[in-house]
Structure 1
Amino acid sequence: MSNATTGSRKIFSLPAVTPSTSVNSVSLIHVLSLLADDVLALRGAAFPVHRKYAREALRQVVVIREFLADVVAEALPASAFVGLAELHVALQKLGHLLRDLARPGARLWVLVNSDRVSNNFRALFRSVATALEVLPLGAASPEVMELVQLVAEQAWKAEGGTLPSDALAARIVWSALALFENGIEPDPIDLNDLMEHLQIRSWSDCSEEITFLEDLFFDCEENEAASIGSLEALMAYCRATLFDADDHNKRTGGNQFKALHRPVNHVNLDDLRCPISLELMLDPVTIATGQTYDRASISKWLKSGCLTCPVTGKKLTDTTFVSNYAVQHLVEQLCASKNLSFPEPNSKQKRDGSKTATPPSSAAAGAMKMAAAFLVRKLAFPTSLEQRRAAFEVRRLSKSNVFNRACLVEAGAVPWLLHLSSSMDSSTQDNAMAALLNLSKHPSGARAIVEVGGLGLVVDVIRLTFKVEAQQNAVAILFYLSLVEEYRAAIGDLPEAIPLLVELMREGSYRGKKNAIVTIFGLSLCSSNQVKILESGAVPALMALLSGQEKGNLANDSMAVLAKIAEHPDGTAKILCYDGAISRLVEFFRSTGTSRSGRESCVSALLSLCVNGGAEVVELLRSMPVVMPPLYSLVTEGSPQAGKKARSLLNRIHEV
């Protein structure tokens, strides 16, 4: 059975080390005392489930500790080792089990595994009783000896089974899941009773449970997914309907998203892993469905004859790729911040995103649909407080779960979030735009934004908002929409869309520039947008980024857009009008800071300039011998496509 980990140990696993027979009694008594103290340190912990067993275990350890403090180790006979060794194992296991019970995020999981937990306690109590019976109690004082004998006798009599209060709480869980399965909302009084029993009293407490169950879900076997996913959905429903995020906001100084906007620290590693290989995406590409994969993995997938999107299951009528330079930059920035080349993913970070594309059970589906409907009703409330809370919850639920996104779109969240995008409350606006960004990653979400006339509202946020985060999310929404061929022209038809993106490339923050560049790239794939991009001054802005202070990833991204622009005669003409354009491109091509993808884009641009610009461009390149070594290097070390273009460019340069 799969379990979430507690440190390096999986929950409900109770590993223990048996002491070596070479250990003397003095050392063993000392180690046992330390183990007992470690267990007794949990006396102040909350035990919402199995309270009676936890208290009994701690009472036994108190008596054991008194015995260990009272006994004279040197006076113990050699035969005492058997009992002491048994205690050594039992104390380790009791410590593990009590820590599992005290773990805040695992309360619901402990409850639904009550039979297993109670059986563990019963077995451990008997181990303690066995150990105490074989110990030479004469080595202790009469008072302690009498107390130990009493504990041993009671430990033998300890009964197993789920406690009545826990059984009642568990029945609420199973009843709620059955109601979800049948499309019926559970009684909120019952759910409140369940939360009170588990001592889940705030939004943050509930979130801890969801995080734990989510980790468990991604680490579980296929036959466990339905039950774990159902419990996670139950907690998500409770968080949405019973709690609000105010307590969480207060704990984070009133800005619940402060961490989200730190350059690298906010990044979720799972978002940077390919859903196919589960490795960091070193060459990320986005396909027609809007999903991003590592180029090698998705290429192998398609070559094997699978013409569907691995995550959404949607049939691919268009198998072309669009390089996702935004994701590539995040991976490179992350590695640079850690002083690593490319780290190997660990097992906990491996997440199969396709596991969330469909509900794990009908109960989970029912719970999420009802939670989505509840939140949409809250979004429609006339009070800004309720709207802000609902928008924040939508943001959280849609962050990484594909099915959650589908439910929220189906429930009608998109129109209300678009309405809140113009809210005068900056927090509400920020939450709404972040939620819309998450929903835009789902095909139905992107479609809903366009069909309800949301494109203009998104552009208005870029133009009018004073909060950088909301503006950046708005640009990111346009990026995801630009991945859909039929929406590219609609975005370009908005008079202010492309000029605003070009302005962001000039004056925006790093992330703003990044999002604007990749969005312009997506829009450039539509022929009707090409003239608009040129007329908006994109070429000078992109050329400036090639050698500006933001050298590196922004320059590589800019080069990719310039390569696309250069494919057309009008684009070539605009680039050649820029003073020193060819020299600037050659300098970029030779720079040690230019990535492989940047060099490949540059070769593509230079070749297009030669084709469309004629002999004058070729002659200019011929007069720059410094371009030759990196060109030959690309022929031998670049991708097949880049090598082919490099050879073609070399042939043109060498032609007499």
Structure 2
Amino acid sequence: MLFLQKSIPPVSFSLIESISPEDLQPTVKICVDSLSSSSVAVKRLAAAKLRLLAKNRSDNRALIGESGAIPALIPLLRCTDPWTQEHAVTALLNLSLLNDNKPLIANTEAVKSLIYVVKTGTEVSKQNAACALLSLALVDENKASIGACGAIPPLVSLLINGSNRGKKDALTTLYKLCSMKANKKRAVSAGVVKPLVELVAGETGVGMAEKAMVVLSSLAAIEEGKTAIVEEGGIMALVEVIEDGTSVKGKEFAVVTLLQVCEEGVYSGRNRGLLVGEGTVTGPFL
């Protein structure tokens, strides 16, 4: 059995994997009890062990979820020690991969704390917090509460300022959240369209450009989104994709988005004129 103490060596994944089934439950209990320790080092180690135990096995995730670990991990998302915060958010991400655990993590306090990590954490913590929000957003009823709790502006910030992986995680999470109209409006208000257009126009790799176009297509379904796409130079960027892009899917997404921008609406005539002004793609849109 593994025991927690202040002067314990770094967590070993091989050591964690070697825990026998009969020792797993008492080990998890020790970890959960240690999450409320007055020692940051003890809490950090407990969160790290739970993170590893929940990494690959769904039965471990179930046992940890049933043990009361989730409400004990949530306060650590606001820990001033960055490594404790990182272990806690990654443990929650791993636990959220089990559907039965999602409702335990989807309460307002937990969602707001995950958003706090997206704002304040290490690069890895921000990425894993975004992924945890994505995992929760796979349940439709969670999308509204995640958006209402303020997740979208920090995700947009991560999309702009994050590492390549951070950008991808933010983009995927925004796509999932923006299937709701209220979240589309929040995303446009948070300034998401400009970085999306830049990703479409930039040399960021086919995968990122395609994902950006999927989100733009979603935002083009609302009038605010159409307006922002036009104002940020989206028509030119999308036409260039159709003309010069190498990805068939990318071209298809660009066409769909342009069709939406030019659909009947307050500025549809102006938008069609701008598209014709590009001097290339005209037939399908007139």
| Alignment map for 1:1-150 (pairs within 5 Å) | none
1:430 corresponding residue in structure 2: 86
Q: CA deviation at 1:455?
A: 0.9
* Correspondence 1:554 to 2:224: no
Match status 1:588 vs 2:241: yes
CA distance in 2, matches of 1:414, 1:491: 18
8 Å contact 2:108–2:149 — kept in the other structure? Answer: no
Q: How has the CA–CA distance of structure 1 residues 503 and 208 changed in structure 2, closer, same or farther, with 3 Å as cutoff?
A: closer
1:452–1:566 distance in 2 versus 1, CA, 3 Å: closer
Q: In structure 2, what is the equivalent of residue 567 of structure 1?
A: 221
In the alignment, structure 1 residue 610 sits paired with structure 2 residue 266: no
Amino acid of the residue matched to residue 94 of structure 2?
N
Q: Partner letter of residue 134 of structure 2?
A: F
CA drift of 1:566 comes to: 0.8
Superposed, 1:410-489 pairs within 5 Å as: 410-451=66-107, 453-465=109-121, 467-489=122-144
Instruction: Extract unaligned runs of 5+ from structure 1.
Output: 1-187, 192-201, 211-234, 238-363, 629-649
Q: Which amino acid aligns with 1:486?
A: E
What is the SS of the residue equivalent to 2:19?
helix
Q: Secondary structure at the match of 1:420?
A: helix
Which of 236, 240, 252 lines up with 1:600 in the alignment? Answer: 252
On the 8 A contact 2:77/2:113 being kept in 1, the answer is yes
CA displacement, residues 561-590 of structure 1 (integer Å, 9 cap, x when unaligned): 0000112233222212334x2121011233
The aligned residue for residue 169 of structure 2 is 515
Moved over 6 A (4+): none
CA distance in 2, matches of 1:585, 1:609: 11
Matched, 1:236 2:22: no
Contact 1:569–1:612 (CA under 8 A) maintained in structure 2: no
Cα distance between partner residues in 2 of 1:380 and 1:455: 20
Structure 2: give runs of 5+ residues left out of the alignment.
3-9
Where does residue 544 of structure 1 map in the other structure? 198
Match of 1:576 in 2: 230
For 2:198 and 2:245, the matched residues in 1 are separated by: 18
Alpha-carbon distance in structure 2 between the residues aligned to 1:425 and 1:481: 25
Number of residue equivalences: 278
Q: Give the 3 Å change call, closer, same or farther, for CA 396–552 of structure 1 in structure 2.
A: same
Cα shift at 1:376: 1.0
2:155 aligned with 1:501, yes or no?
A: yes
Please tell me the residue identity of whatever aligns with 2:182.
Answer: S
Q: Give deviations 1:297-334, integer Å, cap 9, x for gaps.
A: xxxxxxxxxxxxxxxxxxxxxxxxxxxxxxxxxxxxxx
The whole-number CA distance in structure 1 between the counterparts of 2:254 and 2:110 is: 36
SS of residue paired to 1:611: coil
SS at match of 1:550: coil
CA contact (8 A) 2:160 2:167 kept: yes
Report the secondary structure of 1:236's partner residue.
coil
Correspondence for 1:4: none
CA deviation map 1:367-407 (0-9, x unaligned): 54443323212222222222222211111111121121111
Q: How does 1:341-420 map to 2 (within 5 A)?
A: 364=21, 367-420=23-76
- Identify, as 1 or 2, the structure richer in helix: 2
Superposed, 1:186-205 pairs within 5 Å as 204=12
CA contact (8 A) 1:492 1:529 kept: yes
Kept in 2, the 8 Å contact 1:568–1:612? The answer is no
Distance 1:374 1:578 in 2: 54
Cα deviation code 1:222-264 (max 9, x no counterpart): xxxxxxxxxxxxx324xxxxxxxxxxxxxxxxxxxxxxxxxxx
Q: TM-score, normalised by structure 1?
A: 0.39
Counterpart amino acid of residue 123 in structure 2:
V
Change (3 A) 1:452 1:542: closer
Structure 1 residues 452 and 493: CA distance shift in structure 2, 3 A: closer
8 A Cα contact 1:572 1:612, kept in partner: no
Post-superposition Cα deviations, 1:406-444, rounded to whole Å, max 9, x if no partner, equal 111111111222122222222222111111111122223
Question: Which residues in structure 2 correspond to 1:315-354 (within 5 Å)?
Answer: none
Partner SS for 2:38: coil
TM-score by length of structure 2 reads 0.85
Alpha carbons 2:16, 2:49 under 8 Å: kept: no
Structure 1 residue 549: Cα displacement = 4.5
Q: 1:138-161: CA deviations, max 9, x gaps?
A: xxxxxxxxxxxxxxxxxxxxxxxx
Residues 485, 526 of structure 1: 8 Å contact kept: no
8 Å contact kept, 1:415–1:452: no
Change (3 A) 1:203 1:414: closer
In structure 2, what is the Cα distance between the partners aligned to 1:597 and 1:396?
Answer: 37
**Cα distance in structure 1, aligned partners of 2:33 and 2:69:** 9
Identity %: 31
Paired with 2:189 and 2:276, the residues of 1 have a C-alpha distance of 31
Equivalent position amino acid for 1:604 in 2 = V
Larger RCO (CA within 8 A; separation ≥ 6): 2
Summarize deviations over 1:575-621 as a string: whole Å, max 9, x none. 12334x21210112333444x43333222212212224534444554
Quickly say closer, same or farther: Cα 1:559–1:379, change in 2 above 3 A. Answer: same
Quick one: distance in 1 between partners of 2:156 and 2:74?
A: 24
